A and B are shown apart, each in its own frame.
Chain A
Amino acid sequence: MRSWVVACMLLALGNAGGAYAEAPNLGQILAPNEVVDLTVFADGSGLPAGSGSVAQGKLVYEQQCMVCHGMNGVNGINAPLAGGSLPNVRTIGSYWPYATSIFDYVQRAMPYATPGTLSVDDTYAVVGYLLFLNNLLDSEVQLDAARLARITLPNADNFFSEYPLP
């Protein structure tokens, strides 16, 4: 509490110029370790420490993902994750530009009914298995942050934007 008060005083002094004098300035200052964020960027920053094998990923996939996405990532009731080709079938291998996005998405939104329940290692494992299903990773690989950040997906160069891409 004491440090918070001091911080507020410093903040008030720092804004003596009145740049945002009309706002009530009610934000509570957070220490860096109080910020929780799931974002994983295309360069791999934000990936947590940990690793998982393709073999373990297969087990995770069959328990958590296959019911919706089908055996081997095809013919499920929901989005196909492997195989196919453009323009009609948009999968990790055929369409997605960044492998890191898979980790970001699985970590924040999957499994659909119980998001946030996979361990970091199991998340690496299942991401590795999805890359394996797309012929982008060998079956023996233990996927970790460094390895994931190095993977270039086949369709990456076909994306463009009026904004600079990483």
Chain B
Amino acid sequence: MPDELIPIAGNGLLNRRSLLKAGIVMGSVGALPQANAQGQLRPIWAQSPGAGVSGYGQPSAHEAHVQRGAFSLQVGTNGSGASRSPLQHLRGTITPNGVHFERHHSGVPDIDPEQHSLTIHGLVDRPLKFSVNNLMRYPMVSSIKFLECSGNSGVNLRPEPAKLDCANIHGLVSGSEWTGIQLSTLLDEAGIQSQAKWVIAEGSDAAKMNRSVPLDKMLDDAILAFYQNGERLRPEQGYPMRLFLPGYEGNASVKWLSGLRLSSQPAMSRQETSKYTDLLKDGRSQMFTFPMQIKSVITSPSPGLSLAGKGFYEISGIAWSGQGSVKRVEISADGGRTWAEAELDGPVLPQALTRFRTAWQWNGGACVLLSRAYDDHGVQPTRAELLAARGEQFFYHYNAIQSWQVNGNGSLENCYA
């Protein structure tokens, strides 16, 4: 047996070089050609010139099913809600802007950048107001980071596994290159007074959403973001500008940012007291749980996709940590009895989605697939470990190992292994 085909864990997990070898075998399938009048073999789309150039490109019509989905809406609150990234249909680590997840607390405002501004005030030497046009003249930095709503995956707290697709369970996470002004530049211009410990960020949506952020975070790596994946922010991501806090729960990265107030104390707003706090099993509730913990999910195969018969597949997924870089991801194809280390696609960046993958030969039988990721703080907990530590009444920051049941017919579903 060639070295490349040696199994590295139970139930068909193979050495990482195996898939390439298998691909050679499977590589002969193509579109059915048709003979034209000259007897040449041409597919239909190659028999006449195609469409011309366009002002703003769109996905192929054959990919029209790749949509944000799993809308969370509430009667009486038009504009509020969430939509989720279609993780099972995406590869790589950058989420297309049109399918980045959304979470709005009072809809998407239609902001005229000519009339919008940022005010920095409170415990500063000089309260300042910046027009959008003036801000565009400041030096900007770019970095690739994930953004995750801390309510992501919370549906897995239900006693029975929800039979939802991968996007519906985990799609409140997306990855982008964010570009903007380092907040420290603007805060320094205003002059930070020594009593300041918090910065209260306020948005210009109808809810005037507000969150308190530690000043240290603002000075460390926060940016005032104007661009996402090279283009100006979409309205649903905060156009014309938003706060972006690497690694922190998404709600704190206030969109449509209009105000930063430096303060000695947090605002204790509704969004950091009644919401985005976690009731623990001892009856206490924790506030200001900002960093998102180490997490991973297999996106292919996953519920929403299906396997088309036994044979070779690449198991692929995403891992991320708000507390640093992903160090290692392991995959199991036998319900967690044996594990194999997955390959991480580089560059592995801190607080960014990291793509992992490994080769798998599915024998056609029922099995359970799992992934578990490691960062400098440790490994993802099992669901049982997480519930034992935190109880069952918390909601935010669910980061347990996800298990997918593979059925003999190739379908997949959520399960608790």
Contacts and interface: CB of A to CB of B under 8 A. Distances in A.
Nearest to B392: A87
Nearest to A102: B270
A166 B283 CA distance: 20
B188 interface: yes
Interface string B254-281: 0000010101011111100110010100
Given A87-B393, A166-B268, A30 B129 contact: yes
Nearest to A114: B206
Interface in A11-38: 11, 19-20, 22-32, 34-35, 37-38
Nearest to B120: A27
A43 to B, nearest CB: 8
A104 interface: yes
Contact of B126 (A29, A38, A104, A158): A29
B273 A38 contact: no
B273 A22 contact: no
> B interface, how many residues as a size bin?
35 or more
A109 B126 contact: no
Contacts of B77: 68, 78, 112
Interface stretch (B131-139, B168-176, B322-330): B131-139
B269 A104 contact: yes
A42 interface: yes
9 contacts: A28-B128, A37-B122, A39-B261, A42-B265, A86-B279, A86-B393, A104-B268, A159-B277, A160-B284
A11 B76 contact: no
Given A30-B121, A68-B76, A77-B76, A20 B189 contact: yes
Nearest to A20: B188
B285 A27 contact: no
A43 B128 CA distance: 26
Contacts of B130: 26-28
A139 interface: no
Interface stretch (B24-32, B207-215, B219-227, B305-313): B207-215
Nearest to A67: B76
Contacts of A29: 126-128
B276 to A, nearest CB: 12
Contact of B268 (A22, A87, A100): A100
Interface of A: 11, 19-20, 22-32, 34-35, 37-43, 67-68, 77-78, 86-87, 90, 95-98, 100-102, 104-105, 108-109, 112-113, 115, 155, 158-163, 165-166
Interface string B176-199: 000000000110111000000000
A165 B76 CA distance: 34
A62 to B, nearest CB: 16
Contacts of A109: 105-106, 206-209, 270
Contacts of B393: 86-87
B119 interface: yes
Contacts of A77: 74-76
B74 A37 contact: no
Contacts of B185: 20, 23
Contacts of A11: 126
Nearest to A37: B261
A118 to B, nearest CB: 14
A165 B287 contact: yes
A38 B77 CA distance: 22
B118 to A, nearest CB: 9
A28 B128 CA distance: 5
Q: 9 shortest A-B CB distances, which residue pairs?
A: A27-B128, A26-B134, A105-B270, A87-B393, A109-B207, A108-B208, A30-B127, A161-B287, A42-B268
Given A163-B266, A165-B287, A112 B106 contact: yes
Contacts of A42: 265, 268
A108 B210 contact: yes
B121 A41 contact: no
A105 B245 CA distance: 23
Contacts of A96: 273-274
Contacts of B122: 37
Contact of B189 (A27, A41, A67, A158): A27
Contacts of B416: none
A104 B274 CA distance: 12
